[in-house]
Chain A
Amino acid sequence: MGSPGSQEEWLKQIHDAVVDMDEEKTPELCREALEAGIDAYTAIMEGLAAGMDKVGKLYEQNEYFVPELLLCSDAMYAGLEVLKPHVKVDEHATAGKIIMGVVEGDIHDIGKTLVKTMFEAAGWEIFDLGKDVKLERFAEELKNTGADVVALSALMTTSMMAMPKVIEMLREVNPKVIVLVGGAPLNEEIARQYGADGYATDAIQAVVTAERLYSKAN
């Protein structure tokens, strides 16, 4: 197949490359799209992010699971690496700022990685602290970045126990910061007991919940 002609065709091909988990083709298409005069931000939002949106739906339909999500995420990030330097920074506002990390004592970060991908696709500015993050680090990052949302992840019950302390530290920095929690041992009730504002069962729901709470607060 030859190069796409219209902008719509370019964006569809980028979208499809993400959904097809093609880590080689996605950045290649992004490079060619730029050369063809497609706006970088448009390619991100209507190509890459739209692709991840479709991936999210496939996940919810139990068509795609974690292996597929990881590969789609790799493809998306490969494309972002090409496009991001060409985005006119002042032109487009981000959805919001979010800090995320796996709490101290826990090194399981696949869930957090997928959450990061979905927030990236949704246009958020992300401060990823990684895994086994010391409790005070979250509050420090909040002070430094003024983030709107902090998302905490834990897979182990013991590391989950660190969350109330983290949330307390966060509230001392900004009582109004939105705190989301997620991970296998958690549920709505535990999240409420810990003082979190929201709980999400998966990466797609994390974005939905964050956007709902962020819109309400702004």
Chain B
Amino acid sequence: MSEDPRTLRHLLSAADLDRDTAVELLDTAARMHALQAREVKKLPPLRGRTIVNLFFEDSTRTRSSFEIAGKWLSADVVNVSAKGSSVSKGESLRDTALTVAAMGVDALVVRHNASGAAARIAGWVGCHVVNAGDGTHEHPTQALLDAYTLRQRLGDIEGRHVAIIGDITHSRVARSNVILLNTLGARVTIVAPPTLMPSGIASWQCETSWDIDSVLSGKAYGDVDAVMMLRVQRERMSGGYFPSEREYAIGYGLSPERLDLLGDAAPVLHPGPMNRGLEISSAAADGERSVVLDQVRAGVSVRMAVLFRLLAGNAEVVV
């Protein structure tokens, strides 16, 4: 089957999206979003289609978001928790994926704790695959929902400056966001202690800094239009990445004082779950700048847009 280059078969990486496709997905998401205000939220386009959420790693929020997105498009959505089914029980990833796909599935939404897992599965199965987070690699629908939220708050993303702060090394959210924000014409600055800065970051399309204050104040790379805080796992302390929660919070946490460094309109994003008092203060998490719940709402809309695009192709959205 020869494919139109704009035909999206899988969504494995934010790099799968060119600018037009990304904008189109965000536009579609906006129309889907309008539905949420309605009493009856369900649309018919994916009736009779089956989507399996194949999750090798626990994630209540991402799984629920994909589940609701599929159901509002009238797809049949099945959740398969494959945690521990591979490797430890001796079944290969290939066997697990082929077994599930053989049940007549139209799309697999895959979450796995190993980087590249969704890409491998896409190479084996005949159906569409959406990467819902693969190890420390990517989480493209998270980047889409972040972009959606930024558009809501800032209007256009083009030319905006976004600071991403936290554990970049282990963050699939950061990788997808750096790619997508660049695709959409934004500037990105990464802030992390050297131990949580990935190797080879010099070749990423972003500025980098170890100094959160100079970045937030705009002294380092110009005014910041939005701040994206990343979750820092407490286990990283035992890996020697930083000495204590206290020191991390002092060095890199979004404290009330640091909020004041920002311009008035700059929103604060966080992919959740938040570690209050560690990477983010309650003042930042609950303040007027916080768009954390907007992100969650956007998550359903952009996932509807992605599933619609993959499964219904270029059909018009009838809303």
Q: Do they bind each other?
A: no
Mark A residues whose CB is within 8 Å of B: none
